[in-house]
Amino acid sequence: MTYGETAVDQTIDQLLSDHRDLDAAADGALDNFDQFHIGGADAVELLIPTLALTQGDVVLDVGSGFGGPARQIARRTGNHVVGIDITPAYVDAARDLTARAGLGDLVHFHAGDIAGFGPDPAFDAALTMHVQMNVRDKTTWFRHIAERLAPGAHLAVWEVCQPHQADLPWPMPWSLDGTDSFVVTAETLLACVKGAGFGTVEWTNKSAWVQDWVAKTFANGLPAEPALPMLLDDGYTRVINYVTALADGSLEVWHGSFTKDAG
């Protein structure tokens, strides 16, 4: 199983001990510490406006990982965010980091599958970032998300697609050997989202934006700031392979904005 790390809390302690000048409770201090998707905090900033949040709205983060996007959205907007993830160790880490960041009153996390998650009332918006690559039946998965949203709620996605059949260099951030990877074309992914009951507001290839972000972020080698994903199993190799596949066109990154159908 790709997401099988069990010592994440110890890794967090190690990273924060190595960077004692980092104040976890400072505004935005952890924004790039724990985000396991290309584009880091900058990508989350792209998604926030497309959530169309108003005061009192509650956001669902599906596949919330270490909780970076959820905390960033809560801190930037003041809205409550609920994250759900299938990996208990990631949820524990997300709760720990949220407490360190002083955001425990706005952000909460649950361990489990979206199919079995029963919120009440329905959420006003949702996001998912770099998750569907591990999902075989994408239409059903997005339908589970739709079922947990109020009519007209906004969904923001930041996802990886494969424009043509190509052998990918494993491991990747979402799969160690490819056996649990189900990457599809942008056209197929869009059809799955629409088939799940969402209307399209925007569906944009952001690969050029990603290339610029990679060039800026890694211009002088690996950033000096702590980054939790880099210390996970094969973390460095996963990132390098991903960046290489994006550079040669084997993979693309797409940003989508959708609304749940009213019917």
Q: Which of 118-132, 196-210, 220-234 has the highest mean pLDDT?
A: 196-210
Is residue 33 classed as helix, strand or coil in its secondary structure?
Answer: coil
Residue 260 CA to residue 207 CA, distance in Å, equals 26
Question: Strands across the sheet with 80-85, in order?
Answer: 107-111, 80-85, 58-62, 123-129, 149-161, 252-260, 198-205
Omega within 30 of 0 (cis) for the link into 121 = yes
Distance CA 235, CA 131 (A): 17
Looking at residue 83, its pLDDT comes to: 97
Tell me the C-alpha distance between 138 and 238, whole Å. 23
Is the pLDDT higher at 117 or at 8? 117
* pLDDT, tens only, 65-102: 989 999 999 999 999 999 999 999 889 989 999 998 99
- pLDDT band for position 239 (50/70/90)? confident
d(CA 225, CA 40): 13
Query: Which pLDDT does position 232 carry in this prediction?
Result: 67
Most confident of 20-29, 93-102, 155-164: 155-164
Structural domains of the chain in order of their starting residue, each with its CATH number: 8-260 (3.40.50.150)
